[in-house]
Amino acid sequence: MSDGTHSYYDWQVSTLMLAYDAVQPLARTDDEGLADREQKVQLELKDMVHAVLPPEITSDPERELPPDMVVLLTRATLQRAAQIVGVIA
């Protein structure tokens, strides 16, 4: 995974973590709860990637994402964050 891809993934994780925190805050000292939430977010993102991107992209984890695929993932991530906080259904 390139640095750019890794940074993008970190952004996705952070975005969904913050959305969940907005509706169900966890204490910053709740290490177990935070770790559990992060693991669930990572699984949610994995499912999202496989739902949004074509198999030829998801089957090669070393492949750089084309710009149009990044746009699809960005939209999906922001849409999910909006669902979590209740802005959209």
Task: Tell me the residue length of the chain.
Answer: 89
Average pLDDT, the chain: 92
- Pairwise pLDDT comparison (1 vs 28), residue with the higher score: 28
The letter for the amino acid at 19 is A
pLDDT in tens, 4-47: 567 999 999 999 999 999 999 999 999 999 999 999 999 999 99
- To 5 degrees, how large is the angle CA 26–CA 5–CA 72? 85
Question: Where along the chain do its domains lie?
Answer: 3-85
The DSSP annotation for 15-73 comes to HHHHHHHHHS---TT-HHHHHHHHHHHHHHHHHHHHHHS-HHHHT-TTSPPPHHHHHHH
